[in-house]
Amino acid sequence: MRKLRPIFNLLAILFASPCIGYAQGHAVDIYFKVYVTDIDRHPVDGVVFGRRGQIFLSESTDQGLTKIRITIGINGRPPGRVELVLVDHVPENENWEMLNHNIPVCDLKDPEAYSDVYLKRKPVSKDSQQRIGNTNRERVVTSALELGKLMYVDGKYQKAIDILKVALEHDPENHTVLHHLGKALTQIDAYGEALDVFNKCVRIRENPQLATPIELAETLKEFANLLTRMGQLAEAEKNQKRADSILLKSGLLTQQN
């Protein structure tokens, strides 16, 4: 028995070491995994969690599986449950809210174990709906404008007109769309409609907060072309001189021209 006593003493020291470590205030890092899904069990990647003022950037967001490290402080022991929250004012989190905040820590001895975190989408506010609507509208206008310009270059003027009118339905005051629509209408001899379009475009582009002087000059030149084709030579010359004056002041036209 005396021969075994040193072995018992050694074992006692070894088993007591973790307790001594906790008593002395050593921090311990533990890891656990959460599987983040929406209420329909679709994985949600990239959200940012927090706990008691700490922020945990996910170390892995493979199909919603997020590995989180938590530091246990003085006299701490690995908790059975961890209170997680979604960090405020983070773009990745703005559309989500948690259904379960008190998440159990899985068996730390099982590296494949994880806990479930359920998220649901927040109701969309009127401001958010308006932002989404504005973004979608801008995309439609931009796409229609570019396609309409391509149709014009290819000589497909009627197709260009149809496409540009779609853009105007979403943004009736878009002077760039109006400018190109006026050009296309001129090409198919739709002079009356082109006249209305150019008049509106000039009124908008005369506002320096909405358009540049160069843009105004470009429209005045196209307007002069329309008026020439209509036989209104005096008005055409008036618009052409005004366009030249703007270009001269901008340094894009010389007196010799």
The pLDDT, as a whole number, for residue 174 is 95
Q: Tell me how many domains the chain contains.
A: 2
Q: Are residues 146 and 240 in the same domain?
A: yes
| Whole-number Å distance between alpha carbons of 103 and 227 | 74
Please report the DSSP string for 166-191 in residue order. Answer: HHHHH-TT-HHHHHHHHHHHHHTT-H
Q: Are residues 64 and 109 in the same domain?
A: yes
Q: Are residues 224 and 142 in the same domain?
A: yes
List, for residues 40-72, the tens digit of each pLDDT value: 778 888 788 877 655 555 555 667 788 777 766
The pLDDT, as a whole number, for residue 78 is 60
Q: Are residues 147 and 43 in the same domain?
A: no
Q: Are residues 66 and 97 in the same domain?
A: yes
The answer to whether residue 7 sits within a structural domain is: no
Show the tokens assigned to 163. 């496409």
The answer to whether residue 14 sits within a structural domain is: no
- Supply the range of the domain harboring residue 189: 134-249
List, for residues 159-180, the tens digit of each pLDDT value: 999 999 988 988 999 999 999 9
Cβ atoms 62, 76 nearer than 8 A: no
Backbone angles phi, psi at 66, to 5 degrees: -120, 125
At 147, which CATH number? Answer: 1.25.40.10
Which helix (H) or strand (E) segment holds residue 137: the answer is helix 126-153
List, for residues 71-85, the tens digit of each pLDDT value: 665 555 666 777 888
Please report the DSSP string for 31-100 in residue order. Answer: EEEEEEEETT--B--S--EEETTEEE--S--BTTEEEEEEEE-TT----SEEE-EEPTT-GGGTTEEES-
| Whole-number Å distance between alpha carbons of 127 and 135 | 12
Show the tokens assigned to 29. 């890092």
| pLDDT tens sequence for the chain (257 residues) | 444 444 434 333 333 333 333 334 566 677 778 888 887 778 888 788 877 655 555 555 667 788 777 766 555 566 677 788 887 777 778 888 888 888 887 766 676 788 888 888 877 666 656 665 677 778 888 888 998 999 999 999 999 999 999 889 889 999 999 999 999 999 999 999 999 999 999 999 999 999 999 999 999 999 999 999 999 999 999 999 999 998 888 776 655 44
Give residues with Cβ within 8 angstroms of 137, minimum separation 6.
170, 171
